[in-house]
């Protein structure tokens, strides 16, 4: 780790010489920035992700790599003379680099609620199709699907609370959820290969599912008066989120030991988001009004045990080494964040359990046994109910935006430096 941090300093000096002083700004520098950003979780803090990303985008703009070689203009409108027949291209490598920068910029900024610095352009899909047609690497065959899925994910942002400060419109949020849910189902049905063929795509797909849950269930300020909701929508959204969280966390803990050291920065950001939202979803699912519909999934997820297993995996990667500034390796910090997330979840689960012991639970009907255990059994729907749809949830005392979890500054602040160091850098 100390050697890694020393190499990082050399890379920073090289970037400074080329980008700030009088060194050449070249395609090689662009590729170097992409590698630097992809593995910046191993760098010392602050990591300055967004600053390096903007430097890279400036190179893409100056070298006109965001358009096909035949469409690049090398004579500006203020020049009398210019090179009319100049065509410079770095072939497939430049296309991979541009696709990579878009994916990093869009996917990470979306999770961290920052504006993406690299907008989608049709040339990206054209490049992916070209790379897939004569693939040099296995990953070339998956790039088009990665970009298409990220485009689908970007359409969810429109409904996000970061775009409006107004109280939520329940009907609009439900429609957004159903539209995006249908698009995700269609995307998966049309995928030309199994989702498990690409770990990048598998993690991204379930992250998008969770992002849809975040936007529709947690992102908006609750309305001033809780309306009565007679819709199965919040149940469906919660169940989708719990299923996606379990799938992703199961995937992570089932990996061969130390395989996660090969995760790029986006993978760790996604994993941090999954842990965050899994905790919120599990707490929301414990709401007495909806817990009967969630009991099967919360038992299957068993989040407390799942977090313990994640912590054990991370602990196997922690070393006692320190860099020249006395900072520990990244896995030491990840372990601390996971433990604090586990504390956050379990403290609220304990509080909920104590509250339920002190309050009588509703009984399904007159004449039913009134003990808490029998009340819980009476509230749990039959298995056929899960297969045939969900009953409407009464709005009495229930707002599907869970105002107790919006906003959640305590949890977000304590867990944020999994992904962020300061206001301008990404982990």
**Cβ atoms of residues 173 and 237 within 8 Å:** no
Helices (H), 40-142: 49-62, 91-111, 122-133
Where exactly are the structural domains of the chain?
222-427
Alpha-carbon 230 to chain mean position: 30
pLDDT at residue 166 is higher than 70? no
The answer to whether the bond into 407 is cis (omega within 30° of 0) is yes
pLDDT at residue 41 is higher than 50? yes
Question: Which of 52-56, 253-257, 362-366, 395-399 bottoms out in mean pLDDT, i.e. has the lowest?
Answer: 395-399
Contact partners, residue 88, CB within 8 Å, separation at least 6: 63, 69, 72
- pLDDT (mean) for 210-231: 70
d(CA 231, CA 391): 8
pLDDT at residue 384 is higher than 70? no
pLDDT bracket for residue 170 (50, 70, 90): confident
Question: What's the pLDDT tens digit per position in 269-323?
Answer: 999 999 999 999 999 999 888 889 999 999 999 999 999 999 999 999 999 988 8
For residue 426, the 8-state DSSP code is: B
- pLDDT (mean) for 72-93: 72
pLDDT bracket for residue 261 (50, 70, 90): very high
pLDDT bracket for residue 404 (50, 70, 90): very low
pLDDT at residue 82 is higher than 80? no
What's the pTM?
Answer: 0.82
For residue 262, the 8-state DSSP code is: G
Q: Which of 17, 117, 128, 15 is nearest to 57 (CA)?
A: 117
pLDDT at residue 367 is higher than 60? no
């Amino acid at each position: 780790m100390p050697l890694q941090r020393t190499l990082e300093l050399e890379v920073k000096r090289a970037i400074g010489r080329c980008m700030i002083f009088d060194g050449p700004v070249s395609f090689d520098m662009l590729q170097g920035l992409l590698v630097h950003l992809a593995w910046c979780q191993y760098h010392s803090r602050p990591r300055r992700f967004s600053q390096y990303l903007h430097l890279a985008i400036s190179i893409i703009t100056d070298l006109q790599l965001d358009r096909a070689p035949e469409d690049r203009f090398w004579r500006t409108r203020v020049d009398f003379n210019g090179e009319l027949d100049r065509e410079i291209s770095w072939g497939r490598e430049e296309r991979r680099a541009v696709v990579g920068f878009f994916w990093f910029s869009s996917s990470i900024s979306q999770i961290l609620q920052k504006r993406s610095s690299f907008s989608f352009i049709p040339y990206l899909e054209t490049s992916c199709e070209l790379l897939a047609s004569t693939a040099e690497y296995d990953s070339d065959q998956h790039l088009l699907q990665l970009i298409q899925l990220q485009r689908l994910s970007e359409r969810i942002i429109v409904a996000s609370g970061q775009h409006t400060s107004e109280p939520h419109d329940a009907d609009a949020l439900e429609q957004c959820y159903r539209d995006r849910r249908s698009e995700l189902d269609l995307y998966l049905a049309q995928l030309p290969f199994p989702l498990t063929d690409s770990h990048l795509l598998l993690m991204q797909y379930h992250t998008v599912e969770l992002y849809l849950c975040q936007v529709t269930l947690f992102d908006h300020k609750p309305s001033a008066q809780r309306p009565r909701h007679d819709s199965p929508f919040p149940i469906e959204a919660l169940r989708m989120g719990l299923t996606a969280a379990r799938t992703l966390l199961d995937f992570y803990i089932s990996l061969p030991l130390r395989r996660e050291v090969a995760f790029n920065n986006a993978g760790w950001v996604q994993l941090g988001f999954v842990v965050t939202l899994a905790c919120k979803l599990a707490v929301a699912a414990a709401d007495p009004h909806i817990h009967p519909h969630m009991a099967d999934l919360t038992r299957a997820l068993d989040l407390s045990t799942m977090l313990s297993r994640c912590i054990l995996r991370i602990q196997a990667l922690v070393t006692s080494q320190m860099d020249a500034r006395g900072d520990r390796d990244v896995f030491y910090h990840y372990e601390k964040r996971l433990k604090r997330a586990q504390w956050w979840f379990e403290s609220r689960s304990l509080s909920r359990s104590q509250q339920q012991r002190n309050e009588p639970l509703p009984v399904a009907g007159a004449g039913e046994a009134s003990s808490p255990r029998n009340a819980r059994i009476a509230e749990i729907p039959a298995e056929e109910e899960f297969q045939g749809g969900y009953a409407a949830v009464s709005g009495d005392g229930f707002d599907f935006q869970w105002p107790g979890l919006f906003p959640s500054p305590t949890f977000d602040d304590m867990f944020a430096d999994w992904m962020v160091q300061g206001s301008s850098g990404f982990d």
